[in-house]
Structure 1
Amino acid sequence: MKQWSSLQKHTKIIKKQFLTILEFCLRENNYFVYDGTYYQQVYGMPMGNPLSPTIADIVLDKIIDDSIIELRSTDIYIKYITKYVDDIFAVVKMKDVEEILRIFNRQHTKIQFTLEKEKDNKLAFLDIEIYKNKNKLKTNWYTKAVASSRMINYHSNHPWTQKRNTAINFINKVNSLSDQEFMDQNKRKIRSILCKNGYPNKIIESLLTAAANKITCKSGNTKTKEDNCKIYTGVTYIPKLTDNKTLRKIIKNNNVSYAHKPHHTIQAIYTKTKDKIGKEQLHNVVYEIKCQGKEGENCSKVYIGTTKRSLGTRINEHKLDAKNNKSTTALAQHLTENKHTADFDNAKVLDVENRTRRRMTLEGLRIQQKITEAMNFKEDVDNINCAYATAITHNV
C-alpha cells in the first residue's frame, strides 16, 4: 500500500491487520440479495455503503496527484485546482487543455473524465458561475436550466419556523455565492422561486429583509457545560398539538431541545427494490410472542420485548430459558410457572427503531397498549403514560 506512510499516523493498527480489515470491508462484505439470490459486487463500491464516499474521495485524490506529477514531467503546470466529490475546477493554459484531459484519463481505464471549457469568459462549477473579468474572478449563484426550484411549500404541513428558516437559508446561500453586481437580478429570481412555492409577496419581502438583517454568530463552536448535558429529540409535527407554543407549555426542562419532523417521508413513497429481510434477521426491533397455553387450556397472554441484536438470536435465548425452566424474563417465568408453551415460530415484529432510547419507549408503549394481555413485569411500563399508547399504530 503506497499510502501507508500517511495512514499509519492516524491508526495504531499494524499494516497487515489494517489490510485484512480493509479486504473484509471492501470485498468479502460486498454482497446483496435480489429475488432470493445472493450477488457479490466484483468491481467498484456499492451505493449506500458508509465507506463508499471515503474510498471514492481517496481514489480521486490519487488520480489527481498522479496526474499532476506526470504533467510536471512534461512542463505542464496547473495554476489552481480544486474538487468536490467528482467535480474538478482548474485554471490552466488553453493550449494545455487537451493534453491534461488525456493524462487524467490514462490513470484508470474505468474512470474517465469529460471536459467543459469556459464560454464567454464564464464557467459553471457546482452552485456557482465563475466570471473572468480582466485579471479578476467573480462568482454568481448558478442553477441548471432544468432545476425544479422546489422547496418546502408555504402551504405544506410544516411548522412556520421550518418554512421560514428554509427560505432564509436559501436567500443567504444565493447572497453568499454572488458578487455585489449580481444582487439585483438574483433578488428577482428569489422572488420568482418563492412565489412558485406559494409564498405571498408580503411574506417574501419580510424574508428578504430578515435575511439582510441577520446577525452572524461569531462565537464559534464553543460549547458550555449546559450544552453537553442537553437532550436532543425529534417530534412529529401535528398542528395545535405539537407546535412550538404547545410544546413550550408541556416541556419545562431547559435541557431538552427538540426539532420537528414530518410524519410522511419521501422514502415511504418509493417501491422497495431490495428483497425484504426475514424477520429473524432484523435488528433493533420491538417484538411480540404469544402464549399457546397447554393442552386443553388456552392462554391469551402475550410477551412484548425489544432487542438490539437479531430477532432470531433473541428468540433462541427465550427458547433456551423455557427449556431450562428459568425465570430470567417475564416470558420464561410465565412458561415455567404455568407449564405453558410459546408460539415462537410466529413471533411478530411490532417496530423497528435503531435509536435505543426511542426503541425502549416504543416497547413500553406497546406493553401499555396491551396492558390487560401483557405478561411483562410492572417496571417495564413504570415510566410510560398510558395516554400515549393510543397514539401509536401496529406495523404489519
Structure 2
Amino acid sequence: MTKSQYRHLYSTSENMPRMYCTPKIHKESNPLRHIVDYTESIGDNSSRALADLLGPLVGLSEHHVKNSKDLAGKMCEIMIEEDEIFASHDVVSLFTNTPTDKALEIIRDRLENNSTLKKRTLLTPSDIMELCEFILTTTFFQFRGNIFQQTFGTAMGSPVSPIDANLYMEWLEKKAIAIAPVNCKPQLWKRYVDDILEKMNRGETQNLTDHLNTVSATDSIKFTHEEENNGTIPFLDTLIVRRPDGSVKLLVCNDIVTEENDRKKEEAHIVEALRKCGYPKWSFQKVKKQIERKKDTKKKGNPKDKDKDSSKGLVILPYVKGLTEGVSRVLRKHHIATAVKPKQTIRNILIHPKDKQDKLEKIEIVYKIPCKSYNKIYIEETGRNFGTRIKEHAKDVE
C-alpha cells in the first residue's frame, strides 16, 4: 500500500454511522426501509476503497443484468411458447438477510481465483479479506442518540453491501438452478441484484418459489413471486410484453423503448405533458436539435475528444448567484470542467429523514474563530472532527 493510499484510508473521523428510514411507497402499508448512512463515518473511506477493489468480481455470471438497456438487448431474441410463462421473483430484504460468514467465504474464493487482482492492487487476498471482515462485521450505528448493532446481514447504505449481496446471489442462483426439479427449472433466468425474471413451464411458479426458499443454508433468504398478467409483466422499469407469435418487446422504460412506433408515442406523450406544464415550444425544438447533434457526433466522431483528454476532471458546484460563475471561470482556466446543482430544493426543504447532526460532530469543513482581544478572525480547514479541533484550540490559549 502506498503512503497516499494509507493516508486516504486512515480515518480521522470519530463519527458513527447514522440510521434513517424512508417509506416504501410502492408497497402496502408503506413499510419503512432502514438505511445506515456511512458518509463521514469512521469506515467511510475504507468501505469505498473496498467496493472499488471488489467491484470487478461482480457481474461475471451469465444471469447478471446491468440495467434496463442491458435487459432490452438480452430479451430481443427471446421466444416464449404457449405452455410457458414469464414470472419474476424478489428476495425479501436481501441486504439484511445475507449471511455474512458465507458471503465472506465466497469473496475469498473469488479473490484467490481472480487473475486481474495483482494488476489492480498491491494488496493480497488475505489483506483484502482482513479489511472486508472488519467492515462487514463492524455494524454499529446510532439512531436518535442511541447506539445499536446489526446482528445479522449487511447494512443497507454501506458501499460494500451491494457487492456483498450480489456475490452471494450469484452463488445462490448457481446452486438453485443446478438442483432445481426438472418440472420447474427455468429456461431463462435474468437477475438484477434481488429482482429475478424467469421463463418457465406454466403452472410451476409456486413450485419454483418453494424450491428457492430451501436453498439458503441459514434459511434467511426468502423469495416472493409474481406471474405475467394478460401477457405482460413489469421488470426493472420495463414492461415485458409477449406478442402473439411468441416474440417479446419491452415498453415504458424511462429512456429504453425497443419499438420505433412506441418511441414516437412516448416522445409525443412527454411533449404533451410538458406543454401542459407551461414549457415553451422553442425548448422542445432545442432539445430535438441537441439529440440530432449528438447522434451525428457519434457517427462522425467527437472533435472535442482532444479537449476531453486534457481535462483534469469535473467539479459539481452548488449555485450561488454572483459566486458560482466566477469559480467556474477560474476552474475552466485550469482545464477543470464544472457543472451546477441547486443549492436548495423542495426535497431539501420538506424532507428530513436523518437526525440533525451536531456541528461539533462534522468533519471535512472550513471554519472560522473570531478573536475577542483583537479584531482578527482565524480561518482553518480540517478533515478531523470539529469538536476535537475546538478543544485543541481552547487548550492552546489556556
Q: Percent identity?
A: 23
Q: Counterparts of 2:329 and 2:354 in 1: how far apart (Å)? A: 44
- With CA pairs under 8 Å and 6+ residues apart, which has the higher RCO, 1 or 2? 2
2:380 is matched with 305
1:271 is matched with 352
Q: Counterparts of 1:90 and 1:136 in 2: how far apart (Å)? A: 15
1:186 is matched with 266
How far is the alpha carbon of 1:25 from its aligned partner?
A: 0.7
Q: Single out whichever of 247-256 and 302-311 deviates more from structure 2.
A: 247-256
- Whether 1:53 aligns to 2:162 is yes
2:312 is matched with 230
TM-score (norm 2): 0.59
Name the aligned partner's letter for residue 82 of structure 1.
K
Unmatched tracts of structure 1, length 5 or more: 143-169, 293-297, 323-340, 343-396
Q: Counterparts of 1:23 and 1:39 in 2: how far apart (Å)? A: 19
Q: Counterparts of 1:114 and 1:263 in 2: how far apart (Å)? A: 41
Counterpart contact for 2:328–2:338, Cα < 8 Å: no
Q: Counterparts of 1:180 and 1:226 in 2: how far apart (Å)? A: 33
1:177 is matched with 257
Secondary structure of the structure 1 residue equivalent to 2:148: strand
Name the aligned partner's letter for residue 68 of structure 1.
I
Counterpart contact for 1:122–1:130, Cα < 8 Å: yes
How far is the alpha carbon of 1:316 from its aligned partner?
A: 5.7
Counterpart contact for 2:369–2:379, Cα < 8 Å: yes
- Whether 1:44 aligns to 2:172 is no
Aligned residues: 281
Name the aligned partner's letter for residue 285 of structure 1.
I
1:126 is matched with 236
- Whether 1:217 aligns to 2:298 is yes
How do residues 16-35 of structure 1 correspond to structure 2 at under 5 angstroms? 17-28=127-138, 30-35=139-144
Higher Cα Rg, which structure = 1
Q: Could you give the per-residue CA deviations for residues 315-374 of structure 1, whole angstroms, max 9, x where no partner exists?
A: 565567x4xxxxxxxxxxxxxxxxxx36xxxxxxxxxxxxxxxxxxxxxxxxxxxxxxxx
1:325 is matched with none
Secondary structure of the structure 2 residue equivalent to 1:111: coil
Name the aligned partner's letter for residue 46 of structure 1.
A
TM-score (norm 1): 0.59
Unmatched tracts of structure 2, length 5 or more: 1-104
How do residues 256-335 of structure 1 correspond to structure 2 at under 5 angstroms? 256-265=336-345, 266-271=347-352, 273-274=354-355, 276-277=357-358, 279=360, 281-291=361-371, 298-315=373-390, 318=393, 322=396
RMSD, aligned α-carbons: 3.6
Which among 197, 209, 212 is matched to residue 89 of structure 1?
197
1:204 is matched with 284
2:252 is matched with 141
Name the aligned partner's letter for residue 286 of structure 1.
V
Counterpart contact for 1:63–1:104, Cα < 8 Å: no
How far is the alpha carbon of 1:27 from its aligned partner?
A: 1.9
Name the aligned partner's letter for residue 233 of structure 1.
V
- Whether 1:103 aligns to 2:211 is yes
1:6 is matched with 110
Q: Could you give the per-residue CA deviations for residues 258-277 of structure 1, whole angstroms, max 9, x where no partner exists?
A: 21211213335423532534
